[in-house]
Chain A
Amino acid sequence: MSLVAQEVPKIGLVMEDVKVVRWLKNVGDTVKAGEVLLEVETEKSVVEIEAAASGRLSQILVQVDQSATVGDRVAWIDSVDAQEPVDARSPVGTWTPNGAGGPPEQPKIAAPAHQGPQPLTSAAAPRQTGRILSTPVARKLATERGIDLGAITGTGPGGRVQLNDVERAASPRQGAPTATSQPLSAMRRALARAMTLSNATIPQFTVTRSVDWTVLNAVRNELSAKLPKSSVKLSINDFLLQAVARSLIEFSVLNATFAGDLESDAGIVPAMGAHIGLVVAIDNGLLVPVIHNVEQLGLAEIANRRAACVERSVKGRLNSDEIAGATFSISNLGAQGPDRFTAIINPPQSAILAVGRQRDVVVARDGIAVVRSQSDLTLTVDHRVADGRQASQFLARVVDILEGRDWLS
């Protein structure tokens, strides 16, 4: 006994996709070479396909309503009279057109006795043992897509599952669309890991203050006017960076990270300077480049570094030094951002400052209602490193600096 492939022969002059519309035999049935075994539908008509050999139909590879192309194997016949090897050179099937281009006469019949999506075979299946034959690249794709190899019928030699078999299983050409999992990019995976870890391991709390930008907007214009035309324009983030840096030096308890195991060697590691991360939005994700020793920098230099960081982030040129070493990050969602939001601490840092959008609000000043440009600042803090009072004092200091004229330019 040997296995003969039943293939879709060339129909007409063009290589077409066809759809299987009817199997005239079930798996296990005897077939005779030359008798009609299945019907396929082309663009023009329904076509009968004759069995390639006599024997027993041992496996159906393409079900009713599934598509196949010329040359594809649609079944295996366990042949009693096959004298040539499986991939014989003689043509494997012939077809007779069913009517001259008229509508199909036979109704489409669902494959009998097959309820499951992919039938596995009878005992005479090409797979002799329990082992599934598959190619390396097919296995790799199946793993990536979470598809069970055993559920796929292979069309390769000996029933080997090949790449196109897995591709077909991953996006079948049937009626009902099924959602397929889109694998995460490396960056999104890293981000997801970090945020999950942060939520799982860091006890985070928030404190909120609003900051009045009136003075700062004026200061910014004055300082900008003094800078050379070619220098980087000062942005609010530069002022935020300096204010946070100075506050971190003053309130050094927040300029530290928690390290170790709570049950054994837990400790607080102080940082040697104010190293601050800035959350930068990029295509399909975000990066947090770090500016080191911000406390030593004037606004102009902060602006240079900030601009360089952003550019390198956007171009994907950050190296590992540039994203490490910070204890604190600033996230400013800008003018289109929310009024306020809570950011998640970026491990292994201890805090993150979320800056809401600048908006005009009505506030009370000296007993009267005035309109001021303000933002809500929300500070998220690691409770193992600092408590509410320390966090509040730190945030108050930041706001103090932001609302004042004392700047190192």
Chain B
Amino acid sequence: MQHTFIDILRLALDEELARDPAVHLLGEDVAAGGAFGVTRGLAEKHGATRVRNTPISEAAITGLATGAALCGLKPVLEIMFIDFATLSMDCLVNQTAKYRYMSGGQLAVPMVVRTQAGAAGGAAAQHSQSLEAWFIHVPGLIVVAPSTPAEAYGLLKSSIRLGEPVLFVEHKRLYTMKGELAEGAELPPIGKARIARPGTDVTLITYSAMVQGALEAASELAEVGISLEVIDLRTLVPLDMATIAASVSKTHRALIAHEAVVNGGVSAEIAARIGSELFDQLDAPVLRVGCPFAPIPFAPELERALLPGSPAIVAAVHELMGRTQ
């Protein structure tokens, strides 16, 4: 049976609410269904105390969720747009991420912050960003980015059960994506990537919505005899370097692609690690595909011109293979 990404997130939350009385949802408009409808119906089903609306106070609600996580709840906080995570930063960075460490292990923060990123046509500069790179820089935070409905289902559940502070980054354009849910599938571990498509010529490392672009590029490239191995990272920090190493040791060529700005993006960290840890495996420089260095513009033509997708990946692969188109 096919579910949309949104329906699957709702299903996962519904099941976790039923499974564990400590799980509580909160966020702006969450009880009313949430900005994208993810939490629709959950307040009615599980009660107004388990699923709560909050005022527009990102700083306070992030602190609220953190304090509650210290005291026995498992909050799942919704920050409507990752662009607004800026308002949560003091708490996320200075408190949430560091509580276990600063307390010498006395306290943990079992909390999930669900947010969404990405450009989707006309949302413009303050509602279209992909800011996940900031959060991989904070020791103690875990950052997860699902790429399909089935992945989202499993990864959200794993994140809720993990017992650490997790930033769960959904993507606007994936919300309408449809996918199958395998019955009784095991929950995927946090911190482990998956091979979305095996291949032999180039390792393409990616996550979230870009996985779709990567698979399209892989199909196109297969027709000219180039075999792409697509790795869906799933967890951005801690990074599954072992899967990357096994792949690059096979293909000897690495490409990293994401929608976020290339400059200082997650790809920069991965490229640096490949360069230092897998140097002797490289038969070509490590290339990156991402958004050029500009805010996301409003007009559709301008937005389209900026956003990277499978054409950019195909061009980069050809460059890696040292051939003309």
Contacts and interface: CB of A to CB of B under 8 A. Distances in A.
A137 B325 CA distance: 25
A137 B324 contact: no
A327 B284 CA distance: 52
Nearest to B319: A87
A136 B280 contact: yes
A140 B279 CA distance: 10
B322 interface: yes
A135 B225 contact: no
Interface centre among A88, A137, A139, A155 (most CB of B within 10 A): A137
A92 interface: yes
Contacts, number: 40
Contacts of A135: 252, 282-284
A71 interface: yes
A136 B325 contact: no
Interface in A295-348: none
A161 to B, nearest CB: 10
A338 to B, nearest CB: 44
Contacts of A137: 252, 280-283
A90 B324 CA distance: 8
B272 to A, nearest CB: 15
Nearest to A72: B323
B322 A162 contact: yes
Interface in A130-151: 135-140
Interface in B265-291: 279-284
Interface string A150-182: 000001110000110000000000000000000
A44 interface: no
Given A15-B225, A163-B252, A136 B281 contact: yes
A407 B193 CA distance: 61
Contacts of B252: 135, 137, 163
A89 B322 contact: no
Contacts of B279: 136
Contacts of B225: 15
Contacts of A157: 322
Given A138-B283, A163-B252, A88 B322 contact: no
Contacts of B324: 5, 7, 87-89, 92
Contact of B280 (A7, A92, A140): A140
A171 to B, nearest CB: 17
Contact of B282 (A5, A88, A92, A136): A136
A135 B318 CA distance: 17
A162 B282 CA distance: 9
Nearest to B275: A136
A89 B323 CA distance: 9
Given A15-B225, A137-B252, A163 B325 contact: no
Nearest to A73: B322
Interface in A75-113: 87-89, 92
Interface in B229-262: 252
A88 B281 CA distance: 28
B249 to A, nearest CB: 9
Contacts of A140: 280
A136 B252 CA distance: 10
B7 to A, nearest CB: 44
A137 B286 CA distance: 13
B283 A162 contact: yes
B248 to A, nearest CB: 10
Contact of B325 (A5, A7, A89): A89
A138 B283 CA distance: 7
Contacts of A162: 283-284, 322
B224 to A, nearest CB: 9
A209 to B, nearest CB: 54
Contacts of B325: 89
A162 B325 CA distance: 20
Nearest to A88: B324
Contacts of B323: 7, 71, 87
A37 to B, nearest CB: 18
Interface centre among B283, B319, B322 (most CB of A within 10 A): B283
A71 B325 CA distance: 10
A138 B282 CA distance: 8
Interface string A47-80: 0000000000000000000000001000000000
A138 B252 CA distance: 10
Interface in A377-392: none
A155 B282 CA distance: 16
B252 to A, nearest CB: 5
Interface centre among A71, A88, A92, A135 (most CB of B within 10 A): A135
Given A15-B225, A89-B324, A157-B322, A163 B283 contact: yes
A71 B279 CA distance: 27
B282 A156 contact: no
Contacts of A136: 279-283
Interface in B210-226: 225
Interface string B284-325: 100000000000000000000000000000000011001111
A38 B322 CA distance: 22
Interface centre among A15, A136, A155, A156 (most CB of B within 10 A): A136
A367 B107 CA distance: 91
Given A15-B225, A137-B252, A163-B252, A156 B281 contact: no
A183 to B, nearest CB: 15
Contacts of B280: 136-137, 139-140
A10 to B, nearest CB: 10
Contacts of A88: 324
Contacts of A89: 324-325
Contacts of A87: 318-319, 322-324
A138 to B, nearest CB: 7
Nearest to B281: A137
A87 B317 CA distance: 13
Nearest to A85: B324
A135 B279 CA distance: 9
Given A87-B323, A89-B325, A155-B322, 5 more contacts: A15-B225, A87-B318, A137-B282, A157-B322, A163-B283
24 contacts: A5-B324, A7-B323, A15-B225, A71-B323, A87-B319, A87-B322, A87-B323, A88-B324, A89-B325, A135-B252, A135-B283, A135-B284, A136-B280, A136-B283, A137-B252, A137-B281, A137-B282, A137-B283, A138-B283, A155-B322, A157-B322, A162-B283, A162-B284, A163-B252
Interface of B: 225, 252, 279-284, 318-319, 322-325
A-B interface, 6 closest residue pairs, ranked by CB to CB distance from nearest: A135-B283, A163-B283, A87-B324, A140-B280, A137-B283, A136-B282
